Amino acid sequence: MGMVITTAATAYFGGSATSGGTTTVALAGRAARACLTRAGLSPAAVGVLVNVGVYRESNTFEPALAALVQKEAGISLDYLADPAPAFSFDLMNGACGVLGAVQVGQALLDTGSTERLLITAADVHPGGDARSDPEYPYADLAGAWLLERGADPGSGFGPVRHYAPEGPVGTEGYLDTARMGGDGRSLITVRREPGHAARRSALAATAAAAYAREFGLDLARTLVIGPPEPAPAEVRGAQPAEVRAPESAGEPHTAAPVLGYLRALDAGRPRDCDRLLFVSVGAGPSVVCASYTPEGW
Section 146-152 average pLDDT:
92
The mean pLDDT value for 80-99 works out to 88
Cα separation, 203 vs 279, in Å, equals 10
pLDDT tens for 254-295 read 999 999 999 988 888 887 888 999 999 998 889 999 999 998
Q: Is the same domain home to 19 and 139?
A: yes
Exposure letters 108-132 (e unless 16+ CB within 10 A, then b): bbeeeebebbbbbbbbbbbbbbbbe
Confidence class of residue 242 from pLDDT cuts 50, 70 and 90? low
Cβ–Cβ < 8 Å for 123, 55? yes
Give the CATH number for residue 209: 3.40.47.10
Does residue 30 or residue 58 have the better pLDDT? 30
Tell me the average pLDDT across 24-53. 95
The residue out of 151, 172, 205 marking a domain boundary is 151
pLDDT for the residue 34:
97
17/126 same-domain check: yes
Question: Does the pLDDT of residue 236 top 50, yes or no?
Answer: no
Structural element, H or E, at residue 105: helix 97-110
Is the separation of the CB atoms in 37 and 190 below 8 Å? no
Distance, in Å, from the CA atom of 66 to the CA atom of 49, rounded to the nearest integer, reads 7
Of 146, 150, 157, 86, the residue nearest 120 (C-alpha): 146
The reported pLDDT for the residue numbered 159 is 97
User: Quick one: what percent of the chain has pLDDT higher than 70?
Assistant: 89
Does 63 lie in the same domain as 23? Answer: yes
Per residue in 116-139, pLDDT (tens digit) is 999 999 999 988 899 888 899 999
Query: Same structural domain for residues 106 and 170?
Result: no
- Pair (197, 121) in one structural domain: no
Residues 111 and 205 in one domain: no
End-to-end CA distance of the chain: 15
Q: Are residues 28 and 129 both part of a single domain? A: yes
47 in the same domain as 7:
yes
Instruction: Mark whether 252 and 193 lie in a shared domain.
Output: yes
Q: How far is CA 231 from the centre of its chain?
A: 20
Whether 15 and 145 map to the same domain: the answer is yes
Residue at which a domain ends, from 151, 168, 193: 151
φ, ψ of residue 105 in degrees (nearest 5): -60, -40
Does the structure show a pLDDT above 50 at 232?
no
Residue 226 shares a structural domain with residue 126: no
Task: Name the domain count of the chain.
Answer: 2
Q: Is 135 found in the same domain as 43?
A: yes
Structural domain boundaries enclosing 207: 158-293
Phi-psi region of 141 (alpha: psi -120 to 50; beta: other; left: phi over 0): beta
Q: Which of 128, 151, 174 is the last residue of a domain?
A: 151
Does residue 46 register a pLDDT over 70?
A: yes
